[in-house]
Amino acid sequence: MTTDLTDSYGRTIKDLRISITDRCNFRCTYCMPEEGMKWLPRSEVMTFEEIERLARIFVGHYGVTGIRLTGGEPTVRAHLPVLVQKLAGISGEAGPIDLSMTTNGATMRLVAESLREAGLKRVNISLDTLDREKFLRMTRRDELERVLDGIEAAKQAGFDPVKINAVVQRDVNENEIVDLATYGREHGVEVRFIEFMPLDAEGHWMNDKVVGQDEIVAAINAVYPIEQVRARGAAPADRFRYLDGAGVIGVIPSVTKPFCGNCDRVRLTAEGDFRTCLFATDEFDLLSALRAGETDDQVAARIEAAVSTKWAGHRINQVNFIRPGKSMSQLGG
């Protein structure tokens, strides 16, 4: 019997993001520093068995329907298909879970097929620029060609849809909004433009570096007319359809039009800390509870207590906003 996991504002949790590693083969400027990241010792990172047990509690006790693997870069975790197979086998009252992953795409050519065979359903691949020099500046890795090939590999392996995540920053890649839209149209992938959030490790985020949804939509609409598809609901992206039928784009306006009121999402960090918001300042250590021998019901009680503390919304741009002590790669974006 599942019960709803509902917070004190009436939002029911359906979506769980699990960071499976804090490590990464890129060093994107909006996420990590070039050097000096302190990695978690392996003994403090959740094992596959621990991830599976927590996932089963979220699905079995609380009817969570979607799980997304993230990081850090999830594909740097050894034997990833083994984890995917374990999670793909989890079913709730609503049927098998919607299992997806967010990746930088650099190794997708190598892993796409085995992940698909293991039961992964969908992938989002990050791509912020189509310019090789700029890609190197933004990710500190000369891997544009491998990522583009990784996107093709994901399509060939049968992932559908393949979505592209593009973080837009003022004076960095804002001049490529239309080029990225064109890429999406030509390659049959849905590009989702993400507003830059104050979660970069180096603390360089400033409000004037955010390119907002209205500006993104106007830039695309001027070249390819679009119309909004439907109300956003719990999904973070507002979606827009090309009037000529060439597909859809998404915009994730976390800063200019926060969607906190409909948020149905919670997160687990790689070290098994439970977070009820990207911007939460509190974490609840579920891994220690598992390792101390607590039963599923005891762990579930911790989850319920944590969810009851979920905020109404983040306070970016307000005077009382406090940046979380962790950056995106440590939180699980």
Where does this chain bind ligand SAM (CB under 6 A)? Answer: 24, 30-31, 70-71, 73, 102-104, 126, 165, 167, 194, 196-197, 199-200, 328-329, 333
Four-residue CA torsion sign, 100, 274, 235, 3: positive
Q: State the binding partner of 27 from ligand SAM, ligand SF4, none, CB within 5 to 8 A by kind.
A: ligand SF4
Least Å from the CB of residue 323 to ligand SAM: 11
Least Å from the CB of residue 72 to ligand SF4: 5
Alpha-carbon gap, residue 262 to 292, rounded angstroms: 34
C-alpha atoms less than 13 angstroms from C-alpha of 160 in its C-beta half-sphere: 4
Residue 26 interacts with ligand SF4 (CB under 6 A): yes or no = yes
The two three-digit tokens of residue 9, written as one number? 């504002």
Q: State the binding partner of 32 from ligand SF4, ligand SAM, none, CB within 5 to 8 A by kind.
A: ligand SF4
* Residue 15 vs 128, nearer CB to ligand SF4: 128
Residue 328 interacts with ligand SF4 (CB under 6 A): yes or no = yes
Residue 183: enclosing H or E segment and its boundaries? helix 177-187
CB burial of residue 270 (10 Å; 0-12, 13-18, 19+): buried
Alpha-carbon gap, residue 153 to 1, rounded angstroms: 40
Residue 27 interacts with ligand SF4 (CB under 6 A): yes or no = yes
Q: Measured at CB, which residue is nearest to ligand SAM? A: 333
Residue 55 interacts with ligand SF4 (CB under 6 A): yes or no = no
* Residue 63 vs 250, nearer CB to ligand SAM: 250
* Residue 31 vs 299, nearer CB to ligand SF4: 31
Residue 31 interacts with ligand SF4 (CB under 6 A): yes or no = yes
| Residue 30 near residue 167, CB atoms below 8 Å | yes
| CB neighbours of residue 69 within 10 Å | 26
| Residue 41 near residue 289, CB atoms below 8 Å | no
**Pairing verdict, β 122-126 and 91-92:** unpaired
List residues near ligand SF4 by CB under 6 A. Answer: 24, 26-28, 31-32, 71-73, 104, 126, 328-329
